[in-house]
Amino acid sequence: MIKTSRRVAEMLLDIKAVTFSFTKPYLYTFVSGIKGPMYCDNRRLISYPNKRRVVVDNVVQIAKKLDFDIVGGVSTAGIPWAALIAERLNKPMIYIRPEAKGYGKKRQVEGDMKKDDRVLVIEDLVSTGSSAISAIKAVRRNGGKVSDCIFIFTYDLDAARRNFQRIRCKMHPLLIFSDLIEVAVERNYISKKEKEELLEWHKDPKKYWTSI
């Protein structure tokens, strides 16, 4: 059986969801504000039924080992995955906005969630983890419990690991940065020299891009 991370990496590269640009200063800016020489757009996967099914299959395998009552999608990119996974597992679903609405019932957590319900949070991508962590905190403020977060890809930065440890939530990625880069080199998407630049950037992204 092909290792999950390798298969997901191959799928993302096949549909050109991962792009690289080594022109300095770097072209790509993440939600966290970090700039980098690559960008991973997992959202493209939802347009490919076979690849989408692979992601759902693997998330479900992880989810079945966890204790939860509700599947929660982080707005916006986590919502379609949460819907697919909740349907497969026959579980209730909620989704979490970046902030409460300024109209209507002014909710941040949409859907029905009771006090002490255990929520499995689904996100598509993590850099520093700020979006997922904001969603987790919102669920907790509204009475839910969160101990696990599943996501498709992580840049596997120290900042994300620290941030998730701080809020006591376990991370469950399908694909990590180092595996994606290895597959990209093997398939000639990037050169070995470009791989070294990516690894150097990865050690301390903020310091690296501000020094160039």
Domain 4-210 classified CATH 3.40.50.2020? yes
Distance of CA 185 to the CA centre of its chain: 22
Contact 13, 33 (CB under 8 A): no
Domain ranges of the chain: 4-210
Contacts of 93 (CB under 8 A, 6+ apart): 70, 71, 72, 73, 82, 83, 86, 111
Closest residue by Cα to residue 69 from 127, 21, 39, 113: 113
Over residues 28-76, the pLDDT tens digits come to 988 888 888 999 999 999 999 999 999 999 999 999 999 999 999 999 9
Helices (H), 65-156: 78-89, 130-141
Share of the chain above pLDDT 90, in %: 83
The pLDDT assigned to 211 comes to 65
CA dist., res. 19 & res. 41, Å (int): 8
pLDDT at 155 over 50: yes
pLDDT at 2 over 70: no
Compute the C-alpha angle 62/169/7, nearest 5°. Answer: 35
Give the pLDDT band (50/70/90) at residue 1.
very low
Contact 81, 130 (CB under 8 A): no
The pLDDT assigned to 114 comes to 96
Q: What is the pTM of this model?
A: 0.94
pLDDT at 144 over 70: yes
Higher pLDDT, 15 or 204: 15
pLDDT at 18 over 50: yes
Rounded average pLDDT over 85-112: 91
Closest residue by Cα to residue 37 from 187, 163, 175, 181: 181
